[in-house]
């Protein structure tokens, strides 16, 4: 068994995430997100999806990026497969 590096739970179904040259051990996705997901520079939420990078800063969405000064950032419109 291994211990989650966020909550300390000693669990037989932990998993490893190999990221940026390090190995991390978690017992759930919530703990992995807490440790690894970047935080939006404007609203402070965890960026679980793609996010937007502008001038070396990360934002959760185009709206937050625009509110922080990015003028040419737009949300992508998803139309593939929509009827």
Over residues 30-73, the pLDDT tens digits come to 999 999 999 999 999 999 998 999 889 999 999 999 999 887 77
Residues 2, 30 share a domain:
yes
**Same domain flag for 26 and 66:** no
26 vs 77, higher pLDDT: 26
Please tell me whether residues 14 and 48 are part of one structural domain. no
- Which domain does 75 fall in, by range? 38-83
pTM over 0.85: no
**Residue 6 above 60 pLDDT?**
yes
Q: What is the DSSP string of the chain?
A: -EE-TTT--EETT-EEEEETTEEEEESSHHHHHHHHS-B-TTT--B--S--EEETTEEESSHHHHHHTT-SS--PPP--TT--
- 57 shares its domain with 27: no
pLDDT band, residue 77 (cuts 50/70/90):
low
Q: How many domains does the chain have?
A: 2
Whether residues 53 and 83 fall in one domain: yes
Q: Are residues 30 and 14 in the same domain?
A: yes
Check pLDDT > 70 for residue 82. Answer: no
């Amino acid at each position: 068994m291994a211990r989650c590096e966020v909550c300390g739970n000693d669990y037989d179904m932990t998993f490893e995430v190999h990221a940026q040259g390090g190995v991390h051990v978690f017992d759930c996705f919530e703990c992995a997100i807490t440790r690894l997901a970047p935080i939006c520079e404007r609203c402070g939420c965890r960026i679980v999806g793609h996010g937007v990078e502008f001038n070396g800063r990360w934002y959760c969405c185009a709206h937050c990026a625009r509110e922080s000064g990015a003028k040419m950032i737009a949300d992508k419109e998803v139309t593939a497969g929509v009827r």
